[in-house]
Each structure stands twice: as C-alpha cells, then as structure tokens.
Structure 1
Amino acid sequence: MNLEFLPAIILILNSIFAVTIVFFERRNPTAALAWLVVLFSLPSIGFVLYLIFGQNYTRQRMFVIKEQEDRRFLRETFEEQYREFTDRRYRFATPEAEEFRETIVLLLRNNRAFLTEENRIDLYTRGEDKFDALFAAIRGARDHIHLEYFILNNDDLGRAVIHALAEKAREGVEVRLLFDAMGTRAGGGSRKAFSELTDAGGKIGVFFPSVYRVNYRNHRKIAVIDGVTGFIGGFNIGDDYLGKGPLGPWRDTAFRVTGKAVQLLQLRFFLDWHYVTDEYPGLLPRYFPDPGSSGTTPVQIVSGGPDTRWNAIKEGYIKLINSARESVYIQTPYFIPDESVTDALRLAALSGVDVRIMIPCKPDHPFVYWATLSFVGDLLDAGVRAYTYDAGFLHAKTIVVDGKAGSVGSANWDVRSFRLNFEANAFFYDAAVGAGLARAFEEDLAVSTEITPERYRARSRRVRFKESVSRLFSPLG
C-alpha cells in the first residue's frame, strides 16, 4: 500500500463516520459533537476509537428483534395488570406504593415493569454476606438454578461458584449460566474455565461474543433458584467483590428477594437466555411456582438497555427524585449524568430536599473518576452534599427517597448504564426497606469525607485539568 495516500484515506473514513453520526444515528447532540471532535482532532485514531466505542447505528439492527420479542411477550403476559394499575381508581395495598403510584405507573407504561406486592427483601452490603446467602440458596436448590452476571472471574470465588453449580448439575438440578463475553473474559474467564459445569450437564450462554465492542454489554446481575429465591444488585462474582482485589475492601449493595417479584427476575433471565441461545424454557409451573405471601414489599423489576425505546431506569431515578419531600440518598461508583438528571437533583436541593451523593475515594477507571468529580462539583452550589467513601471501593448503585422508596440494581448513574448497557434494577416501595438502605448510607458517612464547596474550589490545577479533559469526552458512547 502506498503510504502517501493514507492521510486521504483516513480523512475519507472520518468524513463518512461524521456523516453517519449527524444524519443517521440521531444520537444525543452532546455525544454527537464529542464524537465529531474526536474524529477531526485525532484523525489518525479517531475512526478506530469510533469503531470500538461508537457505531450506534448498528444498535437498532442488532437489538430490534430482541426488543420486539420482549415487549410482545411481556404485553401478552401482563396485559390485565397493565389495564388495572393504570386505572387511577385502583388503590395499592401499601401507603408507600400509593404515595409513589406515579413512579409505578411510569415504569409500568414505558417498560412493562409490572408490580408485585407480596415480597420479602433482605439487604446485603458486604460481599461475604451476599455470597454466603447465594451459596446457601444454590446448595438448597431442588429443580433449577439460573445465574446471569456481567463478570464471573476465574479466581477462587468464581471457581467455587462453578464447582457448586456443577455439584448440583450432577445431582440432576437444571443449571443455566449466562455471562457477558467481555466482562467475564476480562476476569480470566473462558469456555474452558466452565468445563466442570458443562461436563456435569450444566448449560452456559455467552452474551454478545463480539468482545471488541465495548458497548452493548450485559451488565445485569441476577440469580434465580427454584423460582422462589432471587438476587439482584451490584455484586459480580469474583474475589474483588470480597475485598480481595487491588482496590481493597469492597462496599456494594444487593437484595435477596422472595415472593412474586422472583417470577419477574425469572422472566428477565428467560428473555436474555432466549436471545443468546434460542432456547426458551417456557412458562412451566416448575419455573414459576406459586410463591405464596412472603412479605408486604411492593417491587418492580425494571430493565434498561439498547433494546428499549426509553431509558426506563434513568426515568425511574428522575421520578423518584422529583417525588422527594425530605431526602434523596444516592450511592454510585460512576456519576456522569445528563442534564435531565442534574436538573432534577439541583431542583430538589434548591427546594429544600436533603440531597446527598456518595462516590468512591479511589478510581477503578481514572477517566470516569475525574469526570465524576466534575459533575458532582457542579451540584455543590445548589446545596447538594457530596462525599467520598474512604473505607474501600464503593460499587453500590442505589437511591433511597424519603426513606420510603428507592432502587437497587446494576445501573450506575452514567451515560453507559442509561444508554448502552443492559441493566436490571429492583424498585421498591416500603418504609422498612427504605429505612434499612438509608441507615446503611448514614453508617457509611462515618467513614466518608465531605466534598464541601470550599474544598472543591481549592483543588489543584492538575486536578482541574484532569476533570476538564475527562468531562469533555464523557458523552462518548
């Protein structure tokens, strides 16, 4: 190849991608402008970065069938509840659900996130407790085990999980394990690492094997055992989540769910499993047993991803913030919101609501960390209080409003979770669960440092430069 033509070829490629971004992708204007800056300010590598991180024009082609199948199935399965709950004459069973009925109806209408009202929620903030509960549920399985995780590392904890699943498979329990190709491969996982499970008769599914694409990853963390016990939250499977990794002690949040909401976790797993493997286990009683009445907590399982028309989890977050009368507590490792989220938080704080955001004190992704500090800093003058968690790495993705309602799941407060990754969160409406989540937040304050406006304004020029550069490219995706 004659290298003298290389600059012209690069210019043509960048121009083609620029036209695609402007005229065909219809992406967020801020993100579009950021990509145009990359293409023409870094011409020699801009198109390579775009091939890896961009290309939203492929999203509709890749996931339109998944979206249509998911929505059709959910619509046919729960149409009766949809009609009932969207009727304003309907009264929910608990005062918290009635108080937040607009949030419930919003999520029902834009995501088919159907409400179950008879659940029990157990809250976990330590990896040891969460994985003890998961192993206990696996050991007690009698019919089936379904796991769906972004990361399943090939380390001590990951191998222990595979071994436990293989033991149950050898006993005749049906085991299905779904993991994301990129997330799990980054942790040393491969098909060979799961041979013990497959040799025992377990089934594995690999989500989106195109590991060269950073976007459109399955970031969900779901487990369903015998259709009666479910787990959802921020923990992946690996030694890091027990505090044994390079980031040290690990602070995360997860729910164990018993009750009818487990059926919705099961359904979410089946839809994702079907997309990956073309196998649909079906609405059999063995997979959807009558859970009875485990408790009184209303729960919605809300899904987000590139196969959804609207950003349901983000919109649920915003609706909760707008409904707050007393307090909004948020924990997230990544805080790169769009204007709709920052406006909601700013307006809540200016209205007298106690708005607090907690982020890590250390970065696992430096670029994202400095952008997070920048966006947090923007809100301080409006009265939002912000903290860095100093006792380890904060990985929780939570919100609790007025100590009565909130969300726990896999979705961070950033553009990637809102637009590009497949996520799943449990939205709850219960004062007891809300009080537990608020109490955990308040206990974390004792090992956190507040980012006051004075402290933020006193940051060094070096930090300001890192924030500015990171923020400039934060909309990319």
Structure 2
Amino acid sequence: MLEFIQNNIFLTLIIINYVIAIGTAIFIILNNRNPITTVSYILALVVLPFLGLLIYYFFGQEYRKDKMFKRKKVFYNETVKKWEKKLMLNDYRLENYQSDFLHNKVNVVKLLQNNQKKPLIFGNDVKILINGEKKFESLFKDLEEAKNHIHVEYYMFNDDKIGSKFIEALIKRAKDGIDVRVNYDYVASGITNKSIKRMKEAGIEIFPFMPVWFPNLTRKLNYRNHRKIVVIDGIIGYVGGVNVSDEYVNPNDTGYWRDTHSRLKGNVVKSIQSHFLLNWNFVSEQEIEITDDFFPKVEEKCGDIPVQIAASGPDSDYPHIMEAIFTAINGAEDYIRITTPYFIPNDQMLTALKTASRRGVDIEILIPKEGDSWAAKYATNSYIQELLESGIKVYHYCKGMVHAKTMVVDGLLSTIGTSNMDYRSFEINFEITAIFYDEGISKKMKEIFEEDVEHCDKVDIEDWEDRAFWEKVKESFSRLWAPLL
C-alpha cells in the first residue's frame, strides 16, 4: 500500500480530496441551506479538486446565529429599550398613518417594527449627498462641531489622501477630549500600523472587524462588515455607499465614481447608534457601558421626514434588508427605480421584480457598464435578458463606476444604504439601509436617477440577444457561482 501511494501520489491526493469532498457535500446538504447556494458549493467541490475545498473553507462555512455573533446585550439595555418603547408606533397609529400617507408602504414599516424592533421615527432632517466630495465636506464640518463622541464604522478605510485627512480630523477631536471609537473591516481596509498607532496614541479606540490571515488573498471572505456609518453625539448620522478611499472623491488620476450617501439628524440616529454599539461590543470584546450620552434628547423638531433603519447580518434572525426591499417591490403600484453596482438577485427578488413589471409597474434598473469585478459583471449581465423580457428597462452607466445603492418606489418610499442587490449583501455581510417615507426625498431621488440615466446606454433587447456567443458563455459560467460572489 505504501509503495502504491508513493508511486501514485497525485492519484492518492485526488482520492483523498474526493473522500473529503463527499463528506463536505453531505454536510452542506444536511444544513438545508438555499438550494442554489448548496448546488454552487457542491459543483465547486466536484469540478475543482482541492480548490473547491478551499473555496468552501473560506467562503461557505455558515456561522449564522453561531457563537461568533452572540453579543445582543445592547438591544436589552434599559436605555435602548426606553427610547425604542417611546418611539414605537402602536397598530392604531400605524393604521392612521396608512390612510394618511403611508398607504401600502405601511407593510414595510410593520415588517421592520415587528421583526427588528426598529420603529418608524418622525421629525428627522435628511440631506442627500452625491459622491464622496459632498459627503466628506459635510462630514468634516460635523466632526469639528462634535461635543461628546464620534463613532466610525467603515468597510473600506484607507490612509490615502482623503483617509489621512479623515484620520487627522479624528486625532484632533480626540485630543480635544471627544471620545472617538473606530471599527474598520480588516479585509477591505488599507490602513497602516503607523496610522493605527498614531490614533491610539491620541486616545482613539480602534479595532478591526474579524481579522483574517492573508487578507489580500481573501477579499471576499465571508461575514465582512460592509457598513459605512458615522454617528456624532447620537444626533447626527451618516449612512450610504461612500467608503474612506480616494476613488470616492474623484481625484483626477482615477476613474469617475458615482455614489450616494445621506446625512441624518434626529431621533432616527439612535437606531444607527444601537447597531454601532452592537458591533463595537463584538470587535472590542467589551461590554461598553451604555449611557444617556449615546441616546440624548433631541430637539423636538429637527425636520419633517419619517425614517426607518433596516440592518442585517449574521447576527440577525432574518435578512431584514432583503425582506424590506422585497415587501416594497411587491407593494409597488406605479414605479420602481433601482441603482446598484452589483445585481445578482436571489430567486425571491428576481421573481418579485419580474411579476411587478408584468402587472404594470414601471421598473428601471441602473447598473455599471464595466464595474470593478469581472465575475460580478458577467453574473449581473446573465440576468438582463429575463429582465428585459418582463418589460423592465435596464441602463448601463457609462461615465464611470456607479457604486450607489438606492431605490425609489411610487414617489413615497426611497432607500439609501450599503446593501447591494446581491446574495452577499442580503445573506452574508453586515449591512445597513435608511428608508425614507417622504414625497420630497423620493422626488429628489428620482431626479438624481434621471440625471444618472443621461450618462447611460439603454439596453435594447434585440441588440442584447445578438451579443457574442462567448459573452453568453462567460455570463452563464459566472452565474453558476453567483451565491459565492
């Protein structure tokens, strides 16, 4: 036997690989996961010896609701429960709002209020910020005026030009006596040890989210913190698609990046704060003392806009953001406008969009023409044919990379957040989205969409059908791995 193994090393390794692969496949099947995801991983195990096992090891293991994400004590804190109870709407008030201005959008409100205990919060001010230039201009001004604390949570935090300017602003405020806490994703960020040391020496608490070995080789490693949020004094919050990296502020030496962020002021920021604190407990391995300073009393009338926060991740019981978008699509009566850099929907979302279109809802989807990922581009393109056949209009953004994650429904409901329209955002990563129930905001968001369309090519169904055969092959191949992208 030993001699056979020595003379047939490769064959022996192949046998060992498939013995392990069969056991892994059985384990995946018994987990009763999404059938498409299950088939994708089994396919990888079968057709990619050795590599398939590595793919599953790095990307496929399911830790949802596992011991890694137990820290839910933030939501049981008396301070958090007190403000949530104060702002939570009862069924009677919801029914009144339904007849007044929410109409069937009240179903989205009820979904998040019942499942995630996130109320619809009135009296907020909202500013829509186009691209990183506007976002950072506003943010630096708010940082300078902070009085108690600054909480920062980013997927991509680089110490390039804009990142260094951001770090200097945080260091200055920390030296002024402001409490500064920073949580950055270890895999996506490019912040150096030197910068981290400088921040710590200034009194900033900074922790990486789930460090891993060889981050450059595992850029899509599961369970990343994809959120981009800042909370200032528990009163001002930022949510959207803009990371801390130079490309987002469009310097002359990089391609154009089109993104959308939002600045929120009012009680809704407390919802963002609670999610920051939950992740902070996880990354810092602390049980931070939650005080009224984190959830301060807000002046009675910051603005007029009702806002609700949807957040999801491996620590949540349900994919809240996906369910909220799904519910909004199913309730649409007039139109839907979606902008997303990656359109790789699950079956539920794809069916909801196609059936909404076929019952008369005017749906337009804007995606990048090139994108920043070869596999994601072709996986996205694999869905275009069936969208067009269902009457959905698809636009390819040609000016550069569109990275905004937004939706407008019926001139009443609109969203700005971190979640892409794909498997990874819906099921795996930590994401957060602000949902606005306001005609003025929706009108502005629709106008922004129409301005972006001016820089797009509309996809024609006949031209699309005539695209090259090898393009279709690449699309079909990429779609097989859609749950892994």
2:88 & 2:371 partners in 1: Cα distance? Answer: 46
Distance change (3 Å), C-alpha of 1:92 and 1:73: farther
On the 8 A contact 2:371/2:402 being kept in 1, the answer is no
Q: Does 1:85 align with 2:95?
A: no
The CA deviation at 1:42 is 1.1
Task: Say which is worse superposed, 429-438 or 376-385, in terms of deviation.
Answer: 376-385
Candidates 258, 273, 286, aligned match of 2:280: 273
Residues 339, 89 of structure 1: alpha-carbon distance in 2 compared, 3 angstrom cutoff = closer
SS in 2 for 1:406: strand
1:203 aligns with 2:241: no
Asked if the contact 2:87/2:121 (under 8 Å) is kept, the reply is no
The match for 2:48 is: 42
8 Å CA contact 1:97, 1:298 repeated in 2: no
Q: 2:194 aligns with which of 186, 192, 195?
A: 192
1:358 paired residue number: 366
CA contact (8 A) 1:181 1:208 kept: yes
| Cα deviation code 1:148-200 (max 9, x no counterpart) | 0000012111111111100111111111011111111xxx3233322221111
CA pair 215-245 structure 1, distance change in 2 beyond 3 A:
farther
Alignment match of 1:12 (pick from 7, 19, 24):
19
Aligned partner letter, 1:208: M
Work out the CA distance in 2 between the residues paired with 1:204 and 1:119: 30
SS of the aligned residue for 2:227 comes to coil
Sort the Cα spacing of 1:247 and 1:451 in 2 relative to 1 into closer, same or farther, 3 A.
farther
In structure 2, the partner of 1:235 is 242
- Alignment RMSD, CA only? 2.1
Question: Do residues 177 (structure 1) and 185 (structure 2) align?
Answer: no
Structure 1 residue 110: Cα displacement? 1.8
For the residues of structure 2 that align with 1:195 and 1:89, how far apart are their CA atoms?
A: 50
| 1:131/1:83 CA distance change after superposition, 3 Å | closer
Partner of 1:454: 462
1:69 maps to what in 2? 73
- Cα deviation digits, residues 407-429 of structure 1 (max 9, x gap): 11000000000001000000110
The corresponding residue for 1:296 is: 304
- Asked if residue 259 in structure 1 is aligned to residue 266 in structure 2, the reply is yes
**2:235 partner amino acid:** V
Number of residue pairs the alignment of both structures matches:
471
| TM-score, normalised with respect to structure 1 | 0.94
Consecutive unaligned residues of structure 2, counting only runs of 5 or more, are none
8 A Cα contact 1:85 1:105, kept in partner: no
| Counterpart Cα distance in 2 of 1:69 and 1:101 | 29
Deviation at 1:60, TM superposition (A): 3.5
1:157 aligns with 2:162: yes
Give the C-alpha shift of residue 121 in structure 1. Answer: 0.6
Contact 1:239 1:245 in 2 (8 A): no
Provide the C-alpha distance between the structure 1 equivalents of 2:111 and 2:449, rounded to a whole number of angstroms: 27
Say which SS state the counterpart of residue 370 (structure 2) adopts: coil
Q: How much does 1:85 deviate? A: 2.8
Residue 113 of structure 1 and its aligned partner are, at CA, apart by 2.0
Measured in 2, the distance between the counterparts of 1:89 and 1:389 equals 39
> Any idea what the Cα deviations from partners look like across 1:126-148, whole Å, max 9, x if unmatched?
21111100111111112111110
SS for the counterpart of 2:171 is: helix
How far apart, CA to CA, are the structure 1 residues paired with 2:141 and 2:225? 25
Q: Residue 91 of structure 1 contacts residue 98 of structure 1 at CA under 8 Å; is this kept in 2? A: no
Change (3 A) 1:40 1:93: closer
- Change in CA separation of 1:345 and 1:63 when aligned onto 2, cut-off 3 Å: same
Q: Please, what TM-score do these two structures have when normalized by structure 2?
A: 0.92
Other structure's SS at 1:91 match: helix
Structure 1 window deviating more from structure 2 (281-290 vs 331-340): it is: 281-290
- 2:50 is paired with a residue whose SS is helix
Given that residues 133 and 250 in structure 2 are in contact (C-alpha distance below 8 angstroms), is that contact kept between their aligned partners in structure 1? no
SS at match of 2:157: coil
Relative distance call for 1:69 and 1:103 in structure 2 (3 A) is same
| 1: CA distance, partners of 2:241 / 2:133 | 14
Q: Secondary structure at the match of 2:112?
A: helix
Helix, strand or coil: the match of 1:257? strand
Q: 1:14 to 1:283 in 2, by over 3 A?
A: same
Give the partner amino acid of 2:52: G
Q: 1-side partners of 2:160 and 2:94: how far apart? A: 53
CA distance in 1, matches of 2:38, 2:319: 18
Instruction: Pick the aligned partner of 2:453 from 436, 445, 448.
Output: 445
* Change over 3 Å in CA distance of 1:279–1:290 after alignment to 2: same
1:406 aligns with 2:408: no
8 Å contact from structure 1 (residues 328, 402) kept in 2:
yes
Q: Which amino acid is 2:322 matched to? A: K
Match of 1:389 among 383, 393, 397: 397
Matched AA of 2:116: N
Q: Give the superposition deviation at 1:63.
A: 3.7
Deviation at 1:88, TM superposition (A): 6.8
Letter in 1 for 2:471: V
- Does the aligned pair in 2 maintain the 1:93–1:117 contact within 8 Å? no
| 1:94–1:119 Cα change, 3 Å | farther
Per the TM alignment, residue 459 of structure 1 is displaced from its structure 2 partner at its CA by: 1.0
Distance in 2 (CA, whole Å) between partners of 1:99 and 1:259 is: 25
1:31 alignment partner in structure 2: 37
Q: Does 1:127 align with 2:116?
A: no
| Alpha-carbon offset, residue 390 of structure 1 | 1.2
Aligned to 2:355: 347
In structure 2, the CA distance between the partners of 1:460 and 1:241, relative to structure 1 (3 Å rule), is: same
Q: Give the distance between the partners of 2:453 and 2:442, measured in 1 at CA.
A: 17
